[in-house]
Amino acid sequence: AGAVGPRLLGRAAATGELLTSEVPLPPPFQVPLPIPAVLPPLSRDADADRYEIVQRVATAEILPGLRTPIWGYQGTFPGPTIESRSGRTTVVRHRNELPVPTVVHLHGGRTPPDSDGYATDLVLPASGWRAAHQGMLDPDAKITQGLRDYAYPLRQRASGLWYHDHRMDFTGPAVHRGLAGFHFVRDAEEDALPLPRGERELPLMIADRAFAADGSMRYPSLDSTLSTVPGVEEPYAAGVFGDVILVNGAPWPVAEVSATRYRLRLLNASNARRYDLALDPPPPDGPAFTQIGSDQGLLDAPRGHDHLPIAPAERYDVVVDFGRYPVGTEITLVNRAGTGSTAYVLRFRVTRRGTEDSHVPDRLSTIEPLDRTRAGVIREFSFRGAPSGGRHGWLIGGQPYSPSRIDARPRLGDVEIWRFVADVHHPIHLHLVQFRVLSRGGREPGPFDGGLKDTVDLRPGEAVEVIARFDGYRGRYMFHCHNAEHEDMGMMANFETV
Ligand code: C2O
Ligand code: CU
């Protein structure tokens, strides 16, 4: 089962060196912010809304005048956005027309195991692959050829989810080539709130890339690997970074806004980069961002922030009031964690007045409290680099990923506390469950830990406890570091709800 693909990354990934573009970088804030198209359903019947997505090779003009080969859902990067209603089954038929196997995971979805995109449940290309790789396929996996129907019951609250590739050992390169898209779940509770909507709700997928002279996105290639770099000695491989910041697939774009409130659905879809987002200039009064939701939907009450630290796979749902700036102001969404070309992300240009019809109420939602006394089981997992590095350079509980090992068997419906400890930064994601951060570094959760989450960023040397009810579906699920290179280099494990 371990042979689904070799864990091979080159030295650049291993040392986490910034990949720089081999082409001149364009001036920032020239390209209009693109909004990914919303995918129309093929049909809606009594049971489900049905969609079809073709995964294919395409060419995109990401940097002006440069042709970049991508792998895209529907041939676009980001892929099309899916809009679903809570509790209404969404079936997405994915056709794989790429030259490699794929796996689709709906990140944050409460999905039965069959459709969760288990890392070895491959969708093989329509022809050619099976015969050549028969001995390398996980014998226990549910493998299909050419296409697969993923069924999402979406028995969950309104939230900003995303879908992306999840093939064992190859998630990093596949997502890097473009396999990521938004999937929003809506419900009546959210509809009833007077939040900015329509054109005043902006999905913002942030990702960094570097570009080669031929236009391709630079990723340490599978040929410059352990065969030429014997043993990756650096155990603290940081992952793959680029020097161009893309929002919805465009470099440092610009968005024209009216002097009103906007709702920003922020997603960090970068393989490894963390951002610390702020507004420059900050508003004359009050916090820059009013957070209304986190990974798994609305907070109970809004929370103001002057900056937003965001690790790979995390989401923030925030409202920014551009009415606090005079018409004509240019406001940059900056990255305080970056330097040079990575220190800025996006620019808003307040071009006009607008009629304000939204506000952020003091109460947003109700989140069921879940305190320590409810938990019957406490488990602990360490997230650390392997002492000797190498192709299994990243470990959970001292072990690299194996599809055949289950590290936890929570009983369906039980509440458990999971305690994580890390050597360096790791954004930890659990499939299936919605958790709350219970403590960070032995103290109360931090200001950004509020609400229901599915990904929590661990800081070096810090212990974080999360609490969750393991309900929904019985079966095998993954949990892992969402630094995509760490994940591909072994930092993933399984739990099984029983
Ligand atoms: Cu966003 Cu297991 O992944
Ligand atoms: Cu990690």
Task: Identify the CATH number of the domain in which residue 238 sits.
Answer: 2.60.40.420
Q: Is 107 in the pocket of ligand 1 (CB under 6 A)?
A: yes
Please report the atom of ligand 1 found closest to the CA of residue 119.
2
Residue 61 sits in the same domain as residue 172: yes
Give the residue from 393, 369, 373 showing the smallest Cα distance to 383.
393
Residue 220 sits in the same domain as residue 345: yes
The low-confidence residues of the chain, meaning pLDDT below 50, are 1-15, 222-236
Give the residue from 218, 214, 217 showing the smallest Cα distance to 10.
218
Among the bound ligands, the one closest to the CA of 428: 2
Residues around ion ligand 2, judged by CB within 5 A, are 426, 481, 483, 486
Residue 346 sits in the same domain as residue 403: no
- Tell me what pLDDT residue 43 has: 97
Residue 123 sits in the same domain as residue 14: yes
Residue 177 sits in the same domain as residue 225: no
Q: Is 480 in the pocket of ligand 1 (CB under 6 A)?
A: yes
Q: Is 431 in the pocket of ligand 1 (CB under 6 A)?
A: yes
Q: Which residues partner with 406 through β-bridges?
A: 494
Q: How far is the CA of 336 from the centre of ligand 2 (A)?
A: 21
Do the domain assignments include residue 364?
Answer: no
Q: Which residues partner with 247 through β-bridges?
A: 206, 250
Give the residue from 494, 486, 420 showing the smallest Cα distance to 116.
494
Give the residue from 47, 296, 42 showing the smallest Cα distance to 153.
47
Last residue of a domain, one of 191, 206, 228: 191
Among the bound ligands, the one closest to the CA of 385: 2
Residue length of the chain: 498
CA distance 170 to 303: 37
Give how far Cα 112 sits from Cα of 103, 148, 455, 472, Å. 15, 15, 19, 8
Residue 182 sits in the same domain as residue 219: no
Q: How far is the CA of 458 from the centre of ligand 2 (A)?
A: 9
Give the residue from 68, 120, 72 showing the smallest Cα distance to 94.
72
Q: Which residues partner with 150 through β-bridges?
A: 92
Domain that holds residue 393: 372-497
Residue 100 in contact with residue 170, Cβ under 8 Å?
A: yes
Residue 162 sits in the same domain as residue 280: no
**Tokens matching residue 189:** 């509770």
Residue nearest to atom 1 of ligand 1 (CA): 107
Q: Is 313 in the pocket of ligand 1 (CB under 6 A)?
A: yes
Residue nearest to atom 3 of ligand 1 (CA): 107
Q: What is the DSSP string of 242-310?
A: -SEEEETTEES-EEEEESSEEEEEEEE--SS--EEEEEESPPSSS-SEEEEEETTEEEEEEEEES-EEE
- Tell me what pLDDT residue 115 has: 98
Residue 215 sits in the same domain as residue 180: no
Q: What is the DSSP string of 183-252?
A: EEEE-HHHHTS----GGGEEEEEEEEE-B-TTSPBP---TTSSTTTS-S---TT----B-SEEEETTEES
Number of compact structural domains in the chain: 3
Q: Is 429 in the pocket of ligand 1 (CB under 6 A)?
A: yes
Residue 278 in contact with residue 288, Cβ under 8 Å?
A: yes
CA distance 188 to 195: 13
Do the domain assignments include residue 358?
Answer: no
**Tokens matching residue 90:** 């969404």
- Tell me what pLDDT residue 254 has: 98
Give how far Cα 422 sits from Cα of 40, 123, 228, 452, Å. 42, 33, 30, 21
Strand order in the sheet with 244-247: 250-251, 244-247, 201-209, 261-268, 315-321, 289-294, 297-305
Q: How far is the CA of 394 from the centre of ligand 2 (A)?
A: 7
Q: How far is the CA of 482 from the centre of ligand 2 (A)?
A: 6
Last residue of a domain, one of 148, 168, 191: 191
Do the domain assignments include residue 175?
Answer: yes
Please report the atom of ligand 1 found closest to the CA of residue 478.
2
Q: Is 478 in the pocket of ligand 1 (CB under 6 A)?
A: yes
Residue 212 sits in the same domain as residue 294: yes
Q: Name 176's Cβ contacts closer than 8 Å, sequence gap at least 6.
A: 209, 217, 219, 240, 271, 484
Q: How far is the CA of 237 from the centre of ligand 2 (A)?
A: 9
The DSSP secondary-structure symbol of 173 reads H
Do the domain assignments include residue 448?
Answer: yes
Give how far Cα 358 sits from Cα of 63, 259, 305, Å. 35, 12, 19
Taking only the tens place, the pLDDT of each residue in 305-350 is 999 999 999 999 999 999 999 999 999 999 999 999 999 999 999 9
Residue 59 sits in the same domain as residue 131: yes
- Tell me what pLDDT residue 469 has: 97
Among the bound ligands, the one closest to the CA of 239: 2
ipTM: 0.98
Q: How far is the CA of 106 from the centre of ligand 1 (A)?
A: 8
Q: How far is the CA of 351 from the centre of ligand 1 (A)?
A: 38
Among the bound ligands, the one closest to the CA of 429: 1
- Tell me what pLDDT residue 457 has: 98
Q: Name 203's Cβ contacts closer than 8 Å, sequence gap at least 6.
A: 35, 36, 81, 160, 182, 184, 248, 265, 267
